[in-house]
Structure 1
Amino acid sequence: MQPSDARILRSAAIPTALAGVLAVVLCGVLSGSKGVIAAIMALAMVSIFFTISVLAVSYAAKISPQAMLPAALGSYIIKLLVLSVALSALQNVTVWDTKAFAWSVLALTLVWVVAEARYFLRTKIAYVDEPADGDVEAPAGRGS
């Protein structure tokens, strides 16, 4: 993992963990122990799923820049399939409050996405490759 990828992960994981603690407390107050379990499961799921995305794209970036988009889309599709199987397998489980779980997942997902977006907006990342010293070309369409 590149240092920049670790910073991306850290910049999103820390606010999500703090929001997760708030979700555990809030769900505990509103739904009791089932709410606490729901919020903990939501925090684990959101953290694991988004971390997998960052790691997959980071690994793909080492291979080539063109591999990053397929890695992101592929990890997304796999996560959706795993989530679908897990939710249908846990459909009748009464160990946690399903509403607390759903709201916690939604809130923690928003926190993660906003934290990542904030990181990218505040970080100056070059998106144009600078030409090497000998690679300077005349702009197209000018004096030939």
Structure 2
Amino acid sequence: MQPSDARMLRGAAIPTALVGVGAVLIGLLTAGTKGLFGAALAAVVVIAFFSLSAVVVSWAGRISAQTMMLAALASYVVKILVVMVVVTLIDGVSLWNTTVFGWTVIGLALTWIAAEFRVTLQRGRPYIDEPEGALDKAP
């Protein structure tokens, strides 16, 4: 993993984990132990899925930019499908609060995306690489 990719992963995972701890406490206060379990499960799912996606995209980035884009899109589709399967499987489970689980997944996913956006803005790297000498052309 490239240092910039590791910085991105840390910059997103740490704030998401902190918000996840807050979500677990809120789940405990609002829905008792079932809320605690629902929020904890959601935190594990979101952090695991997004971390795995970051690792896959980083690996694909070493191959080519096109492969990196394909890996990002494929990991997104797989994440959505797996979350749909997990939500379907836990629908009838009474061990945790599914409402707390759902809201925690949404909140932590938005936290992860915002944290990645913040890290990207701090890096200051251009999104488009200009061809060498493109600015040197005089009229």
TM-score (norm 1): 0.87
SS at 2:86 equivalent: helix
Indicate the residue corresponding to 1:83 in structure 2. Answer: 83
Contact kept, 8 Å, 2:91 with 2:98, in 1: the verdict is: no
Contact kept, 8 Å, 2:53 with 2:75, in 1: the verdict is: yes
Indicate the residue corresponding to 1:45 in structure 2. Answer: 45
Unaligned stretches of 5+ residues in structure 2: none
Contact kept, 8 Å, 2:27 with 2:35, in 1: the verdict is: yes
Structure 1 position 107, deviation (Å) = 1.1
Indicate the residue corresponding to 1:128 in structure 2. Answer: 129
Which structure has the larger Rg? 1
Superposition misfits of 4+ residues, deviation over 4 angstroms: none
1:1-144 to structure 2, matched below 5 A, reads: 1-126=1-126, 127-128=128-129, 131=132, 136=133, 139=137, 142=139
TM-score (norm 2): 0.90
Unaligned stretches of 5+ residues in structure 1: none
Identity of aligned residues (%): 43
SS at 2:124 equivalent: coil
Q: What amino acid is the match of 2:26? A: L
- Give the Cα separation in 1 of the matches to 2:84 and 2:71: 20
- Give the Cα separation in 2 of the matches to 1:96 and 1:70: 35
Residues 27-81 of structure 1 show CA distances to partners (whole Å, capped at 9, x for unaligned) of 1011000000001001011101111221111011111111111101111111222
- Give the Cα separation in 2 of the matches to 1:27 and 1:86: 19
SS at 1:63 equivalent: coil
CA RMSD across the alignment: 1.8
